[in-house]
C-alpha cells in the first residue's frame, strides 16, 4: 500500500509544509510504526525547472519515500457539482489508490465534479474539501473523508469554521468553494449552491 502527499510548489516555494509533515507523520505512525522519522523539507529538492510557475509536488511513500515528482498544475474550472451517495467509501488516509473515488467521479454525468454524501452528511468532492458560505462565514463539514492540509490551516487561522452539514442543510448556504493543497480561498472555484445537482 502506497500513500501520498501532494504539496503546492509555486515559484520555487513549498506551501503548508508543516501541515503536510503532520499528516505524513500520522499516516506513517499508523501504517508503519517502526519506520524511522523523516523530514519532508530535508527530502524534497525543488528542480531548477520548477522555480517558476505552479507545480504539484507528489511524494509517494511507504516506510520510506519511494518517489518525489513535480508536475505542472493548472486549475480546472468547476461550474456544476453532482451529489453522489456512498455510505461505504473509506478514504481516511491519502492513498495512491483512488479507485473508489474514481468510480464515484465517473458517475458525475455532465457535471464537472461530485460531492460525496455519506449517511446523509456532506463529505468531500473528488479532490477537495468543500466549504460553504452562509452570507457571513465560511463553514466546512465535520465529516470529511480526508481532512485536508489546506482545511487544517484555514481552521487554525480561523478563516473557516466547522459544523455538521447534511443534505437538508444545503439550502442554508449561498455558495460552495472547493479547497485542497493547491487551492486556498484565493484560488478555489466558487459556485452558487444552486449549481449542486441532485
18-38 pLDDT, tens digit per residue, is: 999 999 999 999 999 999 999
132 and 40 in a common domain: no
Domain boundary among 22, 46, 72: 72
Q: pLDDT value at position 149?
A: 97
Place 43 in a pLDDT band, splitting at 50, 70 and 90: very high
Q: pLDDT value at position 178?
A: 98
| Whether 126 contacts 155, CB under 8 Å | no
Residue 30 burial (CB < 10 Å; 0-12/13-18/19+)?
Answer: exposed
Element of type H or E holding 161: strand 161-163
Q: pLDDT value at position 172?
A: 97
| Whether 154 contacts 187, CB under 8 Å | no
101 and 147 in a common domain: yes
pLDDT tens per residue, range 153-170: 999 999 999 999 999 999
93 and 61 in a common domain: no
pTM of the model: 0.95
Place 46 in a pLDDT band, splitting at 50, 70 and 90: very high
pLDDT tens per residue, range 81-135: 999 999 999 999 999 999 999 999 999 999 999 999 999 999 999 999 999 999 9
Domain with 17 in it: what CATH number?
Answer: 3.30.470.10
Under DSSP, the state recorded for 75 is: P
114 and 33 in a common domain: no
Domain boundary among 72, 94, 126: 72
Joined together, the cell numbers standing for residue 171 give 439550502
59 and 122 in a common domain: no
Joined together, the cell numbers standing for residue 124 give 468531500
Tally of structural domains, the chain: 2
Joined together, the cell numbers standing for residue 45 give 529538492
Joined together, the cell numbers standing for residue 111 give 457535471
Place 49 in a pLDDT band, splitting at 50, 70 and 90: very high
- CB atoms closer than 10 angstroms to residue 83: 16
| Whether 117 contacts 84, CB under 8 Å | yes
Q: pLDDT value at position 13?
A: 97
Q: pLDDT value at position 138?
A: 98
What CA–CA distance (Å, rounded) separates 173 from 43? Answer: 42
Q: Which domain holds residue 66?
A: 3-72
Under DSSP, the state recorded for 56 is: E
What CA–CA distance (Å, rounded) separates 190 from 179? Answer: 10
Domain boundary among 72, 100, 120: 72
Amino acid at each position: 500500500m502506497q500513500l501520498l502527499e501532494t504539496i503546492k510548489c509555486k515559484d520555487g516555494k513549498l506551501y503548508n509544509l508543516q501541515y503536510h509533515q503532520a499528516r505524513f507523520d500520522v499516516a506513517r505512525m499508523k501504517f508503519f510504526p517502526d519506520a524511522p522519522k523523516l523530514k519532508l523539507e530535508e527530502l524534497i529538492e525543488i528542480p531548477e525547472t520548477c522555480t517558476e510557475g505552479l507545480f504539484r509536488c507528489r511524494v509517494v511513500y511507504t516506510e520510506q519515500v519511494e518517489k518525489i515528482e513535480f508536475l505542472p498544475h493548472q486549475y480546472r474550472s468547476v461550474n456544476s457539482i453532482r451529489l453522489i451517495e456512498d455510505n461505504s467509501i473509506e478514504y481516511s488516509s491519502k492513498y495512491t489508490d483512488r479507485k473508489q473515488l474514481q468510480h464515484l467521479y465517473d458517475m458525475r454525468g455532465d457535471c464537472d465534479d461530485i460531492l460525496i454524501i455519506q449517511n446523509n452528511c456532506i463529505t468531500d468532492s473528488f479532490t477537495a474539501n468543500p466549504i460553504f458560505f452562509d452570507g457571513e462565514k465560511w463553514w466546512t463539514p465535520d465529516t470529511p473523508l480526508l481532512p485536508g492540509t489546506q482545511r487544517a490551516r484555514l481552521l487554525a487561522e480561523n478563516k473557516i469554521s466547522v459544523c455538521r452539514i447534511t443534505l437538508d442543510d444545503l439550502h442554508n448556504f449561498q455558495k460552495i468553494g472547493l479547497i485542497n493543497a493547491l487551492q486556498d480561498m484565493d484560488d478555489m472555484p466558487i459556485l452558487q449552491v444552486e449549481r449542486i445537482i441532485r
